[in-house]
Structure 1
Amino acid sequence: MEKSLIEVLEIFSEDFEGMLQKLCNFIVKFPGINYLEIQANGFESKAGEPSGRIIEVKTEETIIRLCGDEEKIKRLIPLLNKIVRRALYFNEYEAFLDNTSDLILFLNEDEIIVDQNKTALEVIGDSVGKKFSEICREGLCSLKEKFYSVQKVKGFRRSIVVGRDVTERIRIERELEDRERKFKALAEFSPAGIVVHHQGEILFVNDALCKITGYTKEEITGRKVWDLIHPDHHELAEAMMKKRLEGERPVYELKILRKDGSEGWTLVAGGAIEWDGKKSVMAFALDITDRKILELKLKEKEELFRNIFNYSSAGQYILVNGTFRLVNPMFERITGYSADELYGRRSLEIVLEEDRERVREMAIKMLKGKDTEPYIYENVTSITYEGKRAVLGSVVDITELEKERKRIEELASMLELINKTLRHDVLNALTSATVFLEIGMDDNSKEYLNKALASINRAVHIVRNMRAFEDAVKSGELRCMDVREIVAEIAKSFDGVSIYGEGKALADDGLRSAVENIVNNAFIHSGTDRVEIVISETPEWCEIRIADFGVGIPDEIKEKIFDQGFKYGETAHTGLGLYIARKIVERYGGEIWVEDNCRKGQFL
């Protein structure tokens, strides 16, 4: 009996294969059983020699073949099936304990470790005999840089502790916690407003978005995102939201409505994300209201500049590195070049070569803020154009203004002279005439009467000169005039005037006063008894040569005779006759000068 018990215990101390073989050896020792074969879990064991009929029993797990006393075999088969089934169970249980990645510890009533599986041995070493609390604790346990979720199951006499490796899960959870912490920090400290919404319902906003919209987090969470968007931009926002949900990340400008009803502008970007298990949209919004206001002002200023630039009566241009980049229509008109012809061309190329250096020097002075000569009618200043240092120049075509200014200056000078002459010379002449008349009449003196007549004639001469002066300052329209016809009409007032040749000239009625003054001067001052007038013309000029045969003009005063108020000799009057003639001729764009007559007298 003792020997049999020992054999039975030895059976269950072996591994599964050895156990099957010892079981077969043990059974065939019983009387009436001479052969046993067992196939289970891929193992096959047999003992004895078959003699007679073999009885076979099959189950899902085993095949058993027996030979011997059939009555004993019938009683033995259920017992064998149960033993093999239990052996298979313990074999699988043992394999599970050795191969599982979980820690398995067996504790006694005093929570002393009495057994452990292979994984536990590898992780914590041989712990049999140690108190469980010294090794770990229930809940979360950290062992060798790994984390185990530990759970204890209490049995009848023993407790089983199972520790599952949750290192990866803990790593992911901590990473998610770290990401969440970083996201919250970024969200709260971000200057951009952040909003998360699902199907338009706001799930999250940061402080920056609250500042942009004027709402608190409590007021804005749960609202529809459309409440924050200006109605004019609902369609745009809806289209952009659809693109985000499709995986795109558009960036666009969006008009918003603040809590107080005011409008604002934001630059929006973002994309689709998972938020609490929902496919949502995260959007980032930068407040660009101030920038939009500035852009609007810049646009207005740009439009104003463009209108001023394009419609200015001054020719304007912009130079970069000395080449034209932009010109206005008036500059095209002044220069005769089109904008396309000027673009990229150096500015000095359109200036006469002999004037280039002077123009360059004047431009430098103006850029430095220095005054330039008043006859330069151009102004330049330094600007930035398309991100580069540039020059903005203005050119005013004041040709006509300059002519008018000079004419007005001359007119003022002449009027002053006329006023002075009329007040002084004519009054003196008439005063003298009055005195001479009174003496002559009282004394019945012919001499004083003749002096009175001379004074009156002098006054008349002065008034005639003033009339000629009037012709000189008139700016009548020039027309083609027959010079011979004018000279012939003048000659009727004098004896001894001969006329030769003919010609036409652009002039006005002032030409009559000029020629008449010269002829009158010749007879009065030179002592000549005749005057010759020769008219000739070329394709560009009409020349009138007036020659007298008198005493001539001294060389030392030839350069002065056309000056205002110059007088010489006893017959001198106001000194205005030749000055008036010069002014009239210059108004026509012509010249007047004096030459010696080779025969006698002067030639003008």
Structure 2
Amino acid sequence: MAHSEDPGSALHTAAPERVAHERMAAILAENEALRHENAVLQSVKDAFQESEKRYRRLFEDDLTGDFLTDADGLILACNPAFVRMFGFASIEGALGTNILELYEDPRDRETLLARLQRDGKVENEGRIRKRRDGTRLHVVENVVGYFSADGELLETQGYVYDDSERKRAEEALRESEGRFRAVLENSLDAAYRRNLRADRYDYISPAIEEILGFTPEEMSAVNLEEVMERIHPDDRPPVEAELNAAAASGKGLLIYRFLTKNGEYRWLEDHLMVICDPGGRPLYRGGIVRDITGRKEAEVELARVHRDLESAHRETNLYLDILTHDIGNTENVSNLYAELLVDSIRGEAAVYVVNLKRSIAKSIEILGIVSKIRRIHAGPPELRSVDLDAVIRTEIDHFPAVPITYEGALCEVVADDLLCEVFTNLIGNAVKHGGPGVAVIVRVEEQNGEVLVTVADTGRGVPDDQKEEIFHRYERKQRGVGEGLGLYLVQILIDRYGGRIWVEDRVPGHPEEGAAFVFLLREADSVPARP
């Protein structure tokens, strides 16, 4: 017979199982909560580590010198920029160093601590510090203080950046501005800047008082209308026109008369510039004002002198016309009569007639030279290519009684039809002053685009102390009648042709052996072929 299950026994067995299940569920729930909490904590930890990493990267990569010190100034922490800025070998080398060692003036530390105690922080303070090697640097410093509950300073934290370059630039600019201002304020010219919007001078240098009699302060109070009223009425229209043009071009030049404080007009020259805003509207006009009254008076005087010189030149030409034409004609007639007398008079009177004829010939010669000099000075030369060999041979033919040796060269030079006068006067001078039996040598040599010409003689020569002045006797009046005119003519002709002339000994070191007149002429660019 089967046994039936006891209901009470089954109930007794089910209760522990339910409790176990409940406890298991509670444990699982608690475990899940722990896992969730652990995940949250891990997330917080990761975020903290990432934040710490970012902070450290920010600290270590910062371009400013970051630092932390205790109350006594010992460096507890710093970044690489701080190390580089102050010349430490490493961060470890900087830690434990007293920051007071980086102060040029130790009293700055006391001032800093007092400020921190009062304000809790110091912002953007410019200070002088020093590197480890003792060199100075200018820094801008920002520092905060951390205090205990009872107000005792525990630590200072801050950052600095090297401001030395900016400070040097600032000092250089200040020094430059000082020099510039010194130049302006000691200049004889007056510098100014006028504010066109405010219609007043922002700046005008002290020289204005010397020029116009007004102080800079008095001029600053003068408006544009009053300025224009003081400009001479005849000068106002061109001044207004130039100011309008300067507003468009940015610069201008004014020349006008201005009524000074003592009631006289002074001539002023004003070099100005106009500064405009981005829209092209004039903001400022600045410039330099110079008193040119003296220059203007000199220009008036120069114009008067020029007129007088032109008048004198016309009168001189008239006198030269009379001298070279009318007197020249009279001398030629006198010479003809003298020749007739030479043939008809005998005895002592004939000697006088010969001397008279010689004097007339000399007078005619002088008039001829004066006429040529006048022609030279009458206007610019018309230079051309001239056959030098032909000119020399023609002039030699004019002295058939003189033994002349010619060492020539076929070349052409830059000259005009007066070139023959150079050889006429040099050969004639040798014959005239060389004494009986004088011989003449003419030599031509080509050298590097120039032609060297020598006219030498076997006469008495030229002493060393006269070689320089021989061409200037006529100008210095160290001469007899007509003496020096020929060589003066020679010199101005050679100058006219772009050459130069000098005299030396025919035999070097022996003036008594004769003179050699040497001159250079420019060789013509193109020399036509000769048959």
| Larger Rg, first or second structure (1 or 2) | 1
Interval containing the TM-score (normalised by the shorter chain): 0.3 to 0.5
Q: TM-score, normalised by structure 2?
A: 0.46
Q: TM-score, normalised by structure 1?
A: 0.41
Of structures 1 and 2, the one scoring higher in RCO (CA 8 A, sep 6+) is 2
